[in-house]
Amino acid sequence: MTPMDDDAAAAPARPSPGSAAGAGGGRRRALGPVPVTAAWREGDPVGDRRFVDVGTFDLEGGRRIPDVRVAYETWGELAPDGSNAVLVLHALTGDSHVTGPAGPGHMTAGWWEAMIGPGAPIDTDRYFVVAPNVLGGCQGTTGPASTAPDGEPWGGRFPRVTPRDQVAVEIELARALGITSWNLVVGASMGGHRVLEWAVLGPEHGIEVEAIVTVVTCAQTTGDQIAWAHAQLGAIHADPRFRGGDYYGAADGDGPHAGLAIARQIAHTTYRTANELDTRFGRLPQGGEDPFTDGRYAVQSYLDHHGDKLARRFDANSYVRLTESMVTHDLGRDRGGVEAALSTISARALVVAVDTDRLFLPAESARIAAGIPRAEPLVVLHSEFGHDGFLIEFDQLGPMVTDFLAERVRI
């Protein structure tokens, strides 16, 4: 989630000419002004969130964030000996609402419903599952939309953070919850970055990590991923309504939703595959529109839909800061290089790639699997949907995680 799509759903069959092509309607529909931000703000419905204050943090970049608060959700019960704790780390535009319905406080249903719950691969009848919103996010954990010490939103003043900074905050959350070891730490894409950092930093800070699962991620952000991120950041910064990040006082409809939507369109293209987009949409026009005048092709409508959808449920500043955090990701920084860092990980590891992923290439997952001493052989999911396969191919991913937790990995 560089950024991830946590709205993904299985793609429908190729649309017929004149259909809406998955864009949610025929001609462009007015949905009302886009909120200036969809960040959770103090006074909004809490939903299933819980909160804990974890203190002040000195960041890798030299800045300091005081009074950090973490929003998180839990499922299941912690065993008396604390042996059944599982940490789930979300992708770029995800949050702590991993499973559960939409409702007050939660704009969307859980993003990994098929993986977590009673009887699911991560069985909440057996495990105590914790899912925090990441530092710099916009759904309750301290981020750009949060109140700074001067009583105003942080906005553009919110400092850049790295995955190590984010894990440092999550370590203090674990301590606050009385957790001294994780049975499993699991995450995909941006969440996978933090899984790897957890596998190194957790033991260094007295919190054992017994097993990890990384899905469609990397140990070090590549030049290609940085390039895709750069275009997305440029789209947001170029939006005059971004105002350098200080837009929270603007009226709905006057926020940086155009830049955020374009950033999402760029990202969403990397989440899927060329074959899927061509098979699903091809050169079909959007229903009732004429691409030779002022109309769109169906694939353009599809991207417009996803851009608008994100702008109505996320925050532009968080998108910027979290994308920047992904750009900095390098497990080997100040640790002698990636291979040296991977070799220090003592946890059992399951590393999962998607064969058609054009954002986090399978070779990057292979590097992780080769470098961790107790890693299982690399698992490659087959999917027509590219990077978003981690949100779709549960019939493949679920049994692998189930077997890994039972120490019976099926390859």
Give the model's pLDDT for residue 30: 60
Give the model's pLDDT for residue 11: 39
Spatial contact of 241 and 256, defined as CB atoms under 8 Å apart: yes
96, 146, 189, 383: which one is catalytic? 189
pLDDT tens readout for residues 318-356 = 999 999 999 999 999 999 999 999 999 999 999 999 999
Residue 313 is assigned to a ligand binding site: no
Strand partners, 182: 209
pLDDT tens readout for residues 173-216 = 999 999 999 999 999 999 999 999 999 999 999 999 999 999 99
97, 305, 329, 387: which one is catalytic? 387
Confidence check: pLDDT of 362 > 80: yes
CA angle, 354 as apex, 348 and 355 as ends, to 5°? 125
**Tokens 């991207």 correspond to what residue?**
303
Give the model's pLDDT for residue 407: 81
Spatial contact of 263 and 271, defined as CB atoms under 8 Å apart: no
DSSP element (H, E) containing 69: strand 64-75
Confidence check: pLDDT of 13 > 60: no
Span 149-178, average pLDDT: 98
Compute the distance between CA of residue 115 and CA of residue 86 in angstroms, rounded to an integer.
Answer: 12
Give the model's pLDDT for residue 21: 37
Give the model's pLDDT for residue 75: 98
193, 257, 357, 365: which one is catalytic? 357
Give the model's pLDDT for residue 31: 76
Compute the distance between CA of residue 341 and CA of residue 118 in angstroms, rounded to an integer.
Answer: 35
Contacts 24+ apart (CB under 8 A), 109-114: 111/6, 111/7, 111/391, 112/88, 112/391, 114/394, 114/398
Span 116-144, average pLDDT: 97
Catalytic site includes residue 53: no
Task: List the CATH code of the domain at 50-405.
Answer: 3.40.50.1820
Helix %, strand %, coil % for the chain, to 5?
Answer: 35, 15, 50
Contacts of 334 (CB under 8 A, 6+ apart): none
Give the model's pLDDT for residue 165: 98
Nearest to 177 by CA among 270, 50, 273: 50
Catalytic site includes residue 189: yes
Give the model's pLDDT for residue 49: 97
Residue 264 is assigned to a ligand binding site: yes
Span 232-252, average pLDDT: 98
pLDDT tens readout for residues 34-68 = 999 999 999 999 999 999 999 999 999 999 999 99
Give the model's pLDDT for residue 203: 98
Q: What percent of the chain has pLDDT over 90?
A: 91
Catalytic site includes residue 387: yes
Amino acid identity at 21 = A
Confidence check: pLDDT of 405 > 70: yes
Confidence check: pLDDT of 269 > 90: yes
Average pLDDT for the chain: 92
pLDDT tens readout for residues 70-116 = 999 999 999 999 999 999 999 999 999 999 999 999 999 999 999 99
Compute the distance between CA of residue 323 and CA of residue 163 in angstroms, rounded to an integer.
Answer: 11
Give the model's pLDDT for residue 1: 35
Predicted confidence band at 29 (pLDDT cuts at 50, 70, 90)? low
Confidence check: pLDDT of 17 > 70: no
Give the model's pLDDT for residue 28: 52
Give the model's pLDDT for residue 359: 97
Give the model's pLDDT for residue 15: 37
Compute the distance between CA of residue 381 and CA of residue 372 in angstroms, rounded to an integer.
Answer: 20
